[in-house]
Amino acid sequence: MFPIAWVVVEGENQASWTWFISLLMTDLRIIDGYGWTIISDQQKGLANAVAGFLPRAEHRNCARHIYSNWKKKGHSSDILRNLFWKAVKCTTREGFQRVIGQMETLKEASAQDFVEVGVQKFCRAFISEKPKCEVIDNNMSECFNSFILPSRSQPIIDMLEYIRRAVMERIVKKRELFSESADSLCPQIRRVLEDNRLKCRTCSVIHARILLPAFTLSEQTLLITSTNGSYLFPPLAKKQPGRPKRRRRIDASEARPSGVRLTKKGVQMHCSLCNQGGHNRKTCNNTRPQPAYEGSQFSSGGFSKLLKSMTKFQV
């Protein structure tokens, strides 16, 4: 956070914002706002001033202010709150649509009120990539407001002098802190980067397509430029034969219509014990055959079967 300018006006209206933005454009040599990002609450006077003086700037709305207004419409459950911030922080439109689908399933009115605000103003999946700024809230402004809070009750001249000195001292302290480091990044940004680097150690790479052959040539030699100027990628590696499929591929003539189940209606059941129809072995009430021996006394039929089996085993 690097405060550039602040001003005291009679009210937040279009005239005050127009006057302030015109002075800011002169000091910072801004022409039409290209490459700049403006983040504010849903203040109509500021929106009109930005549209008139900075037509090419990206004007975003603070997601926290939008959530407060969205919550007042009856969408205050913890699940809806989590889905709100999950949708706001999604970096892809496909992921955003999945979250909105979950929100619609839970409460359709919540998703409708969410989209009606204008997702391109506060959702990361729809913001511009040119300014290289992913901020979607006014936390920096709120931090500055808390920073100058002790001066809010003072007379206007004393308040402005307090803010000037406080900002000057803060800039000096930050400059001294940064001068002690030889790193090209700020200490806080470096800590975030190192933390993400440690988390990446547990990640594994999974290819999403057929693997390309390992080339050792330069990137320029891999591309073959087509006639229209576009680039063509190298041909994919030949798919190696793998294990055969476990199930036979069903022909189109064999496939049955979806939703149709085959039943056993009309099929005659047979018992595996008595070999009679109309029931199975679990519900069989017929007398089961008795074994061919009682205790240690073998019958003649059972003894002859035992001899045959022993003879076969010896052979």
Is 49 part of any domain?
Answer: yes
Domain that holds residue 109: 62-137
116/88 same-domain check: yes
Is 15 part of any domain?
Answer: yes
Cβ contact 87:100 at 8 Å = yes
106/119 same-domain check: yes
Q: Report whether pLDDT(174) > 90.
A: no
Is 272 part of any domain?
Answer: no
Is 161 part of any domain?
Answer: yes
Give the mean pLDDT of the chain: 79
Q: Which residue has the higher pLDDT, 147 or 220?
A: 147
133/76 same-domain check: yes
State how far the alpha carbon of 120 is from the alpha carbons of 58, 96, 159, 165, in Å.
10, 12, 37, 38
Is 284 part of any domain?
Answer: no
Q: What is the pLDDT of residues 55-97, one digit of tens each?
A: 999 999 999 999 999 999 999 899 999 999 999 999 999 999 9
> Which whole number is the average pLDDT over 125-135?
86
What domain count does the chain have? 3
Q: How far apart are CA 217 and CA 30, in angstroms?
A: 45
30/95 same-domain check: no
67/10 same-domain check: no
Which of 92, 117, 137 is where one domain is finished? 137
51/89 same-domain check: no
* Secondary structure (H, E, C), 146-205: HHCHHHCCCCHHHHHHHHHHHHHHHHHHHHHHHHCCCCCCCHHHHHHHHHHHHHHHHCCC
Q: What is the pLDDT of residues 26-43, one digit of tens each?
A: 999 999 998 899 998 888
Q: How far does Cα 29 stand from its chain's mean position? A: 38
Q: How far does Cα 64 stand from its chain's mean position? A: 20
32/92 same-domain check: no
The residue behind tokens 């037509």 is 55
33/73 same-domain check: no
The residue behind tokens 């103003």 is 121
Is 288 part of any domain?
Answer: no
66/112 same-domain check: yes
26/83 same-domain check: no
pTM for this entry: 0.58
Is 225 part of any domain?
Answer: no
The helix/strand/coil state of 245 is coil
Which of 61, 81, 104 is where one domain is finished? 61
Is 289 part of any domain?
Answer: no
